Amino acid sequence: MRPTLQFLENELKETIIAEAGVILAELGVEVQNPDVLALLADNGAQVDRAQQRAFFSPDLVRKCLATAPRAFALYDVYGEPTHDFAGDNVHFTPGSAALNILDSETGKMRKPTTADYVDYVQVVNQLEHIASQSTAFIPADVHERISDSYRLFLSLLYGEKPVVTGTFTVEAFAVMRDLQLAVRGSADALRAKPLTVFSCCPTSPLRWSDVTSQNVVDCTRSGIPVEFIAMPLSGFMAPVTLVGTLVQHTAETLSGVVIAQLACPGAPMLYGGSPAIFDVRYETTPMGAVETMMTDCAYSEIGKYLGLPTQAYISLSDAKLLDAQAGLESAMGATLAALTGINNISGPGMLDFESCQSLEKLVLDNEICGMSLRLVRGIEPREDFPALPRLQELLQEQHLLISAHTRRYLRQEHYFPGPVIDRANRARWLEEGGLTLAQRARRRITQLQDNYEAPRYASEIRRELVARMEHEARRYGQETLPERPE
Amino acid sequence: MDILQEISRYLQSGEDKQVLALTEQALDLNLSPGRILQDGLIRGMAVVGDQFKNHEIFLPDVLLAAKAMTGAMERLKPLLIGDETPLLGKVVIGTVRGDLHDIGKNLVGIMLRGAGFDVIDLGRDVPPEKFVATAAAEKAQVVGMSALLTTTMPVMKQVVDMLRAEGLTHVRTVIGGAPVSAEYAREIGADDYGYDAGSAVEKIRQLVED
């Protein structure tokens, strides 16, 4: 039996969805993009162009939900399947898109560079419990107009895993699609085997900007899956109650579903988000707050109830460094998210309210993810009945360390975290240097960097990726890209 | 591939039947039992020991290799003659008097045998006199003692003192078990401390090499 967590009764889900429907029909959503408004108007939405508002009837929402896929897959750069966004399958991806990284040497936060991003990709490429890359932070050593596409470029050049990403502008979409085409070879191949998921964020309350609404349309028409990241803030930009926040989140996310499905019926989507409570003491949006995590889990329940695969920003921390708070908030989030069956869990590596990535935390979180993935595999009998022969064997052999049963099931039954999480006895720990968690994490990063192997691309793919990125940079007056490792 | 290398390789993967069959073949090829032991089995176990220490393999893998080693050893032991005694050394082990906890000690025994030591396991609740008498009679190089209780720890010191009093100063002593530590080993005059079975084997190996 897979252990699952549930916060909402079906009756409450129905009520929340119905109330969200009333909001979409009565208040509508603001869409600051005339083309998208026209698309909505042409396909059954009521549109007030002067106010830039679109109103969706419950029937229209139902129609859009009916064309939305209940599942879809992602594939790595070689076209091998890596993600099955279906049922309660769980996949982890690093939190994104931070403005800063935590410097390993100084322990201080700073702006990241190309070299930092390459380090990150090389590490995440080898983390066994992190299923995809995300464009986790924003290199500050390139022109800001290419800072979104440049992340994807580096991810595809150095990494093999699919990428959770997004654009900051309407214009950047073209090159971000073309970089994927360089890897896949054709538009049809990309459509058949998606390589990325683009995060598309409505603005609370009930608003789609020109850029984000256009991104939804562009992605869906290119067969690129999208995840909707609505961010209602309980008590500030959303009702203070969790149910009230859920109603608003549902309305905002369903508005994304409508835009996507009217732009391209059948477009793959994740019912996602990044809601938070608003901490009225510090004026912050704590991702490590238990109520934030409860809201995440609850909206995922609503998404699944509507028949959609889900996503959430959860299993990250608001701590400023790799301390106990970082571990406990991330582990609590990863555990709750995995139990809920959130399909794409965005969080590992992230600190400080989604603003700072840490490689040390990422390698620790990888092991937390490993534990969470073990947790949801649950407890089930494996040749355990009848129990008598096993106990007879134990009494006879004095131990079961090399029993055939042990050898068959050891690695399925027991997950062995490490080397960041420490399970050595004290004497061994001391003998091996008495390293702190941060030091063990640092050592792990060095090992991974030493073991890194670049993707096995044909040289023309590599050349094409570079050519497309250089061309994009030149459009904004940047003649050369920063130096990067071969 | 050289047959001794093959023995080493199958030993590392814990395949006892192949190790025994290859040991027979090596004997048929007139390789000396000492060489088979040293360059095939013990060499393979050394790799296993390193891999275990580096977390590349787990305890069951070590014990499987140890089992394969023990099986081949039984075949070779009667053939080892005269000064051809390439076993790594002879170790007397036991859980000290008053203590019935022998899980850790048993593990040390399995791993010592697997590593190529001749092991005399006195079991549990072993009086100090028995450790000393056995070490003397068997010409053991090392006595290994285990205790889980703080109340039985002091028996280890009695053994160390008694060995000294009996003039067996060349016999090295190693202790282990949850309540003891490297510091306690120093305090009671024991030569070393193993924090787990793998570490005990390594410490004993170092002591007999010195």
pLDDT tens-digit map of A7-44: 999 999 999 999 999 999 999 999 999 999 999 999 99
Contact between chains at B199 and A410 (C-beta distance less than 8 A): no
What pLDDT is stored for residue B86 in this prediction? 59
- Distance from C-alpha of A71 to C-alpha of A86, rounded to nearest angstrom: 5
| pLDDT value at residue B123 | 95
In DSSP notation, A260-305 reads: HHHHSTT--EEB----EE-BTTTTB--TT-HHHHHHHHHHHHHHHH
Domains of chain A in start order, with CATH, are 67-377 (3.20.20.480)
Contacts of B103 in chain A (CB under 8 A): 399
- Chain B environment of A432 (Cβ under 8 Å): none
R_g of chain B computed on alpha carbons: 17
Judging contacts by C-beta atoms under 8 Å, the chain B residues touching residue A416 are 58
Distance from CA of B184 to the nearest CA of A (A): 12
CA of A443 vs chain B CAs: smallest distance (Å): 14
- Here the tokens at position B128 are 């100090």
Residue in A330, A372, A369 with CA at minimum distance from that of residue A124: A369
pLDDT at residue B55, as a whole number: 85
What would the pLDDT profile of A365-418 be if each residue is shown by its tens digit? 999 999 999 999 999 999 999 999 999 999 998 889 999 999 999 999 999 999
* Mean pLDDT over the full length of chain B: 92
Q: What are phi and psi of A448, to 5 degrees?
A: -65, -40
- Of the residues B16, B58, B100, B192, the best mutation for testing chain A's interface (the one with the most A CB atoms within 10 Å of its CB) is B58
Q: Does B196 touch chain A (CB under 8 A)?
A: yes
Residues ≥6 apart with Cβ < 8 Å to B80? B33, B34, B37, B86, B87
Alpha-carbon dihedral A255, A260, A265, A268, rounded to 10 degrees: -110
Distance CA A171, CA A299 (A): 32
The stretch A80-99 carries a mean pLDDT of 97
Q: For residue B166, give how far its alpha carbon lies from the nearest alpha carbon of chain A (Å).
A: 32
Establish, for the pair of chains A and B, how many residue pairs have beta carbons separated by less than 8 Å: 33
pLDDT score of A174 more than 70 = yes
- The C-alpha atoms of residue A355 and residue A395 are separated, in whole angstroms, by 56
Q: Which helix (H) or strand (E) holds A231?
A: none
Question: What Å distances lie between residue A57 and A17, A21, A45, A284, CA to CA?
Answer: 13, 7, 7, 35
Mean pLDDT of A87-108: 95
Q: How many CA atoms lie within 13 A of A337 on its CB side?
A: 37
Give the pLDDT confidence score for residue B87 in this predicted structure.
Answer: 75
Instruction: Of A296, A290, A276, A289, give the one whose Cα is nearest residue A340.
Output: A296
CA-to-CA separations, A73 to A69, A85, A184, A197, A343, in angstroms, rounded: 11, 6, 15, 10, 11
Residue B166, both tokens: 């009996």
Minimal Cβ distance to B67: which of A402, A416, A427: A402
Chain A residues in contact with B60 (beta carbon < 8 A):
401-402, 406-407, 410
Q: What pLDDT, on a 0 to 100 scale, did the predictor assign at position B114?
A: 85
Checking if the pLDDT of B84 tops 70, the result is no
Q: How far apart are the first and last CA of chain A?
A: 47
User: What's the token pair of residue A57?
Assistant: 């009837």
pLDDT tens digit string along A432-464?
A: 999 999 999 999 999 999 999 999 999 999 999
For an interface test with B, the pick among A367, A396, A402, A440 (most B C-beta atoms closer than 10 Å) comes out as A402
- Of A361, A363, A370, residue with least CA distance to A448: A363
Q: Would you call B55 helix, strand, or coil by DSSP?
A: coil
Q: What 8-state DSSP symbol labels residue A146?
A: G
pLDDT, mean of residues A204-213: 96
Cα separation of A149 and A138, whole Å? 10
Q: What percent of chain A has pLDDT over 90?
A: 98
Instruction: Decide: A88 and A1 in contact? Cβ < 8 Å.
Output: no
**Tokens encoding A103:** 């410097």
Closest CA–CA distance from residue B28 to any residue of chain A (Å): 31
Where does the pLDDT of residue A486 fall: very low under 50, low under 70, confident under 90, or very high at 90 and above? confident
Identify the closest residue of chain B to A403 by CA–CA distance: B60
pLDDT at A472: 97
Q: Quick one: tokens of A228?
A: 């909707």
pLDDT tens per residue across span B21-64: 999 999 999 999 989 988 999 899 999 989 998 888 999 999 99
Instruction: Look at A410 and B58 and tell me if their CB atoms are within 8 Å.
Output: yes
**Amino acid letter for position A444:** R
Q: Give the closest of A399, A418, A425 to B196, CB-based.
A: A425
Report which DSSP code applies to A311.
Answer: E
Query: Looking at A71-85, A184-198, B34-48, which range is the least confident one?
Result: B34-48
pLDDT in tens, A235-278: 999 999 999 999 999 999 999 999 999 999 999 999 999 999 99
Q: How far is CA B190 from CA A464, B48, B120, in A?
A: 68, 28, 19
Contact A23, A247 (CB under 8 A): yes
Q: CB contact, 8 Å: A406 with chain B?
A: yes
Higher-confidence residue of A125 and B49: namely A125
Mean pLDDT, rounded, of chain A? 97
Q: Which residue has the tokens 């679109």?
A: A54
Taking CB atoms and an 8 Å limit, are A401 and B63 in contact across chains? yes
String of DSSP letters for A389-451:
HHHHHHHHHS--TT-HHHHHHHHHH-----SSS--S-HHHHHHTT---HHHHHHHHHHHHHHH
Global pTM reads: 0.92
Chain A hits for B181, CB-CB cut-off 8 Å, are 427
- Paired strand residues for A312: A345
**In chain A, positions 380-399, which contact chain B (CB-CB < 8 Å)?**
398-399
Structure confidence at residue A325 (pLDDT)? 98
pLDDT of residue B82: 60
Tokens of B58: 């787990």
User: Residue B116 — pLDDT band, cuts 50, 70, 90?
Assistant: confident
Q: Among all residues of chain A, which has the CA nearest to that of B55?
A: A419
Q: Are A196 and A211 in contact (CB under 8 A)?
A: no
Alpha carbon dihedral A367, A369, A370, A371, in 10-degree steps, equals 90
CA–CA min distance B29, chain A (Å): 32
